[in-house]
Amino acid sequence: MRFVSSCWKLMKGSRALYVWSLVVQVFMVVSTIFTSFLSKVLADSLTALMNGAPFLPDAGLESWVVLMLTGGAGPDYLQEHLYILPIAVGVSGAIAAGFSCLRSLLRVRSSVAINKNMQMVLFTHLDRLPYLYFKKHKAGDILQTATRDLDVMRRFLIMDFGSINYTFWVVLICLSLLLSLSPQYTLVALSPFPFMFVYSFFLIKKVRRLYRETDDSEARMTDKISENLNAVRIVKAYNAETYEIDEFEKKLVDYRQHFVRWRKFSSFFFASSDIFVFGAKSLSIIYGLALAIEGQISSGTLVICVSFVNMMVWPLRNVATILSNLGQVLASHDRIQKILAEPIEDMESGQEPEINGDIVFDHVSYQFEDGDHQVLNDVSFSVKPGQTVAVMGKTGSGKSTLFALLMRLHDYTDGSIKVSGVELRDIKRSHLRKKIAPVLQDPFLFSKTIYENIHLANKDATREDVVRAAKIAAVDDTINSFQQGYETPVGEKGVTLSGGQKQRVAIARTISSNAPVLIFDDSLSAVDTATDLEIRRHLKEMGRTVTTFIITHRVMSAKDADMILVLDHGRVSEMGTHEELIKKPGLYKTIYEIQSKMA
C-alpha cells in the first residue's frame, strides 16, 4: 500500500495523463478484439453460404454484432450484402490502430513527464540535504539510486504496469467471450496456464540467480581490464605481460563457464515454458476441431477461439515474468524512499539580521555526533566589522570546523555564537550562507565555462562584476591567456587547470558573491607568495567593508591581520596581533623565526 501511495506521489502532475493512457489502452483492447471477432461472423456466414444453409448467428454477441453491422436488418441481409464484412474489418481495424496510436502518445507523454517529475523530486530533495549527509554517504551510491533505481521504477510504472493492464483486459474480455461460447472448450484450451505460472515463478528465480553470478563474473573480468590499464607502467616495467594475459584468461574462462551455465538454464526455461504456450495453442485447435466436427461449436467459434487463445498466451507469459521481477522493483523503491525520508535542511526559517562582520564566539564547543572527541573546546573571541582574522594551527586543530560552525553547516554543541548580536541558531541558513562565503581548501569547479563558474555564486552579477572578481583573485590574466578566454570550458572537455589556477577561480567565485564576510580555508596557500600578497592587497582595495578570515600556514599571510588566532587541539592557545605574539614563546614565534630565516 505504501508502495502504491508513494508511486502515486512520484507521478504528481502526470496522473491524469497516466490514467488516460490506461483507459485508452482498454479501448484499444476492445477494438482489437472486436476486429478479430468479425472473423467469426465472416467464417460462420461463409460456411453457411457454402453449405447452402441459412446463416444462424450464435445468440449473444454474434447476433448483436450482426444486427449492428446490418443496421438492425439481421443475418439474411448480411448474407445478401457480404461486402459489409470487409468494410467492417477495415473500419474497426483502423479504429483499433487509431486507439493504439492515441494510447502510445498518451503513454509516452506521461512516461516522459513522470520520469522528469521523479528526477526532480529526488534531486530537489538531495539538493536540500545537509552538508553532513554528503560527508557520510558515498557519491556512487547516491548516483546509483538517482539513476538506476529511478529507471527501474519508471519501467515498472510505464511498461510493466501497462502490460499488466493490457493483459488484464485482454484476458477478461477474451475469457468471458470464450466462456459464453463454450465453457468446456475454454477450460481445456487454457488448462496449461496455471502450470505455466507456477513453473515460471519457480524457475525464473534460478535464472535470475545464475544471471547475477554471470554478471559478477563479468564485473571481475572488466575490473581486471581496468586494473591492467591503470597499472600499465607497472605491468610493463615488471615485464609481467604474459602473467597478465594468463590471469585474464582465467577470468575469461570463469566468465565463460558462468555464462554457459546461465544461458543453458535460461534457454531451457524459455524452451520448456514454450511447451505450455504451444500446448495451449495446439490444444485449442485439436479440441476445437473435435467439438466442431461433433457439431457442438460452429466453424466461426473454432476460428475465434483459436485466435483468442493466441491473443492471450504471450501477454500472460509476459506477466508471469513481470511478477517474478517485482522484488527488484520493491528494492529500488525502498532505496528511493530512504533518500526521500532523510530530513532536509531548513534553509528558510529564522531571522535575517544585517550581517556586517560583527561576530562573537563565546565559550563555543563542538563534538561530532558519534565521537567523544571534542573538535573545538571552549573557544572565545570577537571580531569587528572590516577586520582581518588569521587562523593558524597544526593539522587537525579544528581550524576548518570553526568556519563550518559559522556557516551553520554543523550546529555547535555548547556556548554561543552571536552574529550582529543575534544568536547564530536563530539566523536563516540561506541568508547566512549568502553573507558568509568560504573558499574551500579543495576547490570544486563545475564542467562549465570559467565565466559560468564564477557567475554561479551571484546570478545578478554583470560581466563587469565577474571580470572584477577575477582581477581581484589575480586570475584575469591567466583566463585571458586561454584561447576562448572566459568562455573556456573547465574539465575533461576543456582546459585542465593547475591547482593554483583552480584555487584562484574559486576565489573569484567567492568574491563575486559580494558577501561581507569571506573565509579563505587554507586556500591562499595554494597560490605562490607573490600572488597571495596581490590577492590580499586587492581585497583591501575593494572599496567595501569586508571581514576576512584567513586560515594559513604562512606567517607572511597572517602578519598583517588585525588578530591572529592560534589553535591547538581545539583550544585557542594564542591570540593577538603579530607584534604581540612574537614577543611570547609559542608556536607562532617559532614558525615566525624559521620562516624569516628561510625567506
Partner 1 sequence: MAGRSFEEEQLPEKLNFGVWGKIGKYAVKRWPLLLVLFVMMLLTTFYDSSFIPTMNKASLDAATHLQESVNSIWELHLNVSILGIPVNLDYTGYVILFSVMILVRSLAIFGTFFLTNYIGMLIMVDLRRDSFRQIQRLSFSYFDKTSSGWLIARMQNDTSSIGDTLSWGIIQIAWALFDIVFTIITMFTMDWRLALILLASLPLVSVIVPLFERALLKAHRTARNAYSHYVGWLAESIDGAKTIKTLAIEGAVEQEAAEITEDIRYKRWKAGRLNAFFQPIISIISTAMMAIIISIGLSHHSSTEWTVPVATTIIFMGFVSSIYDPIQTFSETFSEFMATQAGAEKVMQLLEAIPAIQDKPEVLEKYGDILNPKTENYETLKGEIVFDHVDFDYGNGVKVIKDLNLTIKQGTSLAIVGETGSGKTTTVNLLCRFYEPTAGRVLIDGVDYLDRSLGFLRSNIGYVQQTPFVFSGTFRENVLYGRKDASEEEMIKACKMVGIHDFIMENKDGYDTFLEDGGGHLSQGQKQLISYARAILRDPAILILDEATSSIDTETEKDLQEATASLLKGRTSIIIAHRLSTIVSCDRILVMDHGVIKEDGTHKSLMEAKGAYYNLYMNQFRDLSVDDQIDEYRENIEGKGIKID
Q: Which region among 165-173, 204-212, 237-245, 329-337 touches partner 1 (by CB under 8 A)?
A: 237-245
Give burial (CB, 10 Å; 0-12/13-18/19+) of 95: middle
Q: Does 164 bind partner 1 (CB under 8 A)?
A: no
Residue of the chain from 9, 212, 256, 261 that contacts partner 1 (CB under 8 A): 256
Number of residues that bind partner 1 (CB under 8 A): 153
Q: Given the DSSP bridges, would you call strands 436-439 and 422-423 parallel, antiparallel or unpaired? A: unpaired
Q: Which region among 195-203, 322-330, 479-487, 587-595 touches partner 1 (by CB under 8 A)?
A: 587-595
Q: Does 86 bind partner 1 (CB under 8 A)?
A: yes
Which residues 57-76 are close enough to bind partner 1 by CB under 8 A? none
Q: Does 51 bind partner 1 (CB under 8 A)?
A: yes
Q: Which region among 2-10, 65-73, 160-168, 392-400 touches partner 1 (by CB under 8 A)?
A: 392-400
**Site string (131-160) toward partner 1, x via CB under 8 A:** x--xx---x--xx--xx-------------
Q: For cell 515454458, what's the residue? A: 273
> What are the DSSP E strand ranges found in 369-448?
374-383, 388-393, 414-419, 422-423, 436-439
Q: Which region among 58-66, 79-87, 175-183, 461-469 touches partner 1 (by CB under 8 A)?
A: 79-87
Distance between CA atoms of residues 378 and 582, nearest Å: 24
- H or E stretch including 576? strand 571-576
Distance between CA atoms of residues 516 and 437, nearest Å: 8
Which residues 516-535 are close enough to bind partner 1 by CB under 8 A? 525, 528-529
Q: Which region among 262-270, 361-369, 471-479, 480-488 touches partner 1 (by CB under 8 A)?
A: 262-270
58-65 long-range contacts (CB < 8 A, ≥24 apart) are 58/181, 58/298, 58/300, 58/301, 60/180, 61/37, 61/177, 61/180, 62/300, 65/37, 65/38, 65/41
Residue of the chain from 76, 216, 241, 426 that contacts partner 1 (CB under 8 A): 241
Which residues 263-282 are close enough to bind partner 1 by CB under 8 A? 263-264, 266-268, 270-272, 274-275, 278-279, 281-282
Q: Does 302 bind partner 1 (CB under 8 A)?
A: yes
Residue of the chain from 3, 8, 68, 116 that contacts partner 1 (CB under 8 A): 116
Residue of the chain from 496, 541, 544, 579 that contacts partner 1 (CB under 8 A): 496
Residue of the chain from 7, 97, 323, 340 that contacts partner 1 (CB under 8 A): 97
Beta sheet of 422-423, edge-to-edge order: 374-383, 359-367, 414-419, 422-423
Distance between CA atoms of residues 182 and 383, nearest Å: 92
Identity (one letter) of the amino acid at 564? I
Q: Which region among 168-176, 231-239, 380-388, 572-580 touches partner 1 (by CB under 8 A)?
A: 231-239
Backbone φ and ψ of 360, nearest 5°: -125, 120
| Complex with partner 1: residue 64 or 268, whichever CB lies closer | 268
Which residues 323-342 are close enough to bind partner 1 by CB under 8 A? none
Of 211, 194, 212, the residue nearest 320 (C-alpha): 194
Distance between CA atoms of residues 147 and 123, nearest Å: 11
Give burial (CB, 10 Å; 0-12/13-18/19+) of 15: middle
Which residues 539-578 are close enough to bind partner 1 by CB under 8 A? 553-554
Q: Does 349 bind partner 1 (CB under 8 A)?
A: no
Residue of the chain from 61, 392, 511, 572 that contacts partner 1 (CB under 8 A): 392
| Complex with partner 1: residue 315 or 438, whichever CB lies closer | 438
Residue of the chain from 4, 50, 59, 341 that contacts partner 1 (CB under 8 A): 50
Distance (Å) of CA 43 to CA 183, 287, 300: 21, 18, 5
Task: Count CB-CB contacts under 10 A for residue 419.
Answer: 24
Residue of the chain from 322, 542, 582, 591 that contacts partner 1 (CB under 8 A): 591
Residue of the chain from 1, 5, 59, 242 that contacts partner 1 (CB under 8 A): 242
* Min dist. Cβ of residue 140 to partner 1 (A): 9
Q: Does 395 bind partner 1 (CB under 8 A)?
A: yes
Identity (one letter) of the amino acid at 119? Q
Sign of CA dihedral 102, 105, 108, 113: negative
Q: Does 25 bind partner 1 (CB under 8 A)?
A: no
Distance between CA atoms of residues 205 and 235, nearest Å: 41
Q: Which region among 176-184, 226-234, 357-365, 569-577 touches partner 1 (by CB under 8 A)?
A: 226-234
Residue of the chain from 7, 175, 306, 340 that contacts partner 1 (CB under 8 A): 306
| Complex with partner 1: residue 440 or 542, whichever CB lies closer | 440
Compute, in degrees rounded to 10, the torsion defined by CA atoms 186, 191, 196, 197. Answer: 70
HSE (side-chain half, CA atoms, 13 Å) at 76:
1
Could you tell me if 344 and 128 are in contact, meaning their C-beta atoms sit under 8 angstroms apart? yes
Could you tell me if 224 and 247 are in contact, meaning their C-beta atoms sit under 8 angstroms apart? yes
Q: Does 15 bind partner 1 (CB under 8 A)?
A: no
* Min dist. Cβ of residue 94 to partner 1 (A): 6
Q: Does 216 bind partner 1 (CB under 8 A)?
A: no
| Complex with partner 1: residue 369 or 541, whichever CB lies closer | 369
Q: Does 5 bind partner 1 (CB under 8 A)?
A: no
Q: For cell 572527541, what's the residue? A: 373
Which residues 397-436 are close enough to bind partner 1 by CB under 8 A? 407, 409, 429-430, 433-434
